[in-house]
Amino acid sequence: MAFLQRLFSSFAGGWAGAGVLLQRILTAILLVRSSIIGFSSEPFSLPMIPRLIAACAAILLLVGLWTPIVGALIFIVELCVAITHMSDPWIPIVLGTLSGTTAMIGPGAWSIDARLFGRKHVKT
């Protein structure tokens, strides 16, 4: 996963990093909430698997681990949910857009990705 460092020139800190952190938190909370509502409304079935994948990926997005990969995965899953569940496609579209933009922007300075793959300061 060392290629994550090459995806971004820097991990945003300051106000930009706080904004990315808030976007990750909001997206993860909404994904988990949407999944819980889907699980509680009907018995478990095969079409619920994308919701389960999105809920698990939301935890990784929340802590900022493998953010570009997880954000792209959530985007694809939510796009599939929006296409297959025609009753109300707007919630999956919004969730997919939020996770896709988070994947494009990067995890920010307050993430596990920044700790694992960020630039290291060498003291001499």
- Cβ-contact 50, 34 below 8 angstroms: no
Task: Spell out the domain ranges in the chain.
Answer: 27-117
8 A C-beta contact, residue 78 and residue 96 = yes
CA angle 62, 89, 73 (to 5 degrees): 35
Query: Which pTM value belongs to this model?
Result: 0.82
Structure tokens at 14: 């300051």
Average pLDDT over residues 28-39: 89
Q: Quick one: pLDDT at residue 72? A: 95
The rounded distance, in Å, linking the Cα atoms of 15 and 30 is: 22
> 31: which 2 tokens?
């994904």
- Straight-line distance from the first to the last Cα atom of the chain, in angstroms, rounded to the nearest whole number: 27
Q: What's the mean pLDDT when you consider all of the chain?
A: 85
Region 68-92: mean pLDDT is: 90
Segment 78-88 shows an average pLDDT of 85
26: nearest Cα among 71, 65, 62: 62
Distance CA 83, CA 122 (A): 49
Q: Would the pLDDT of 8 be above 70? A: no
| CA 87 – CA 107 distance, rounded (Å) | 32
Q: For the segment 86-100, what is each residue's pLDDT rounded down to a tens digit?
A: 778 899 999 999 999
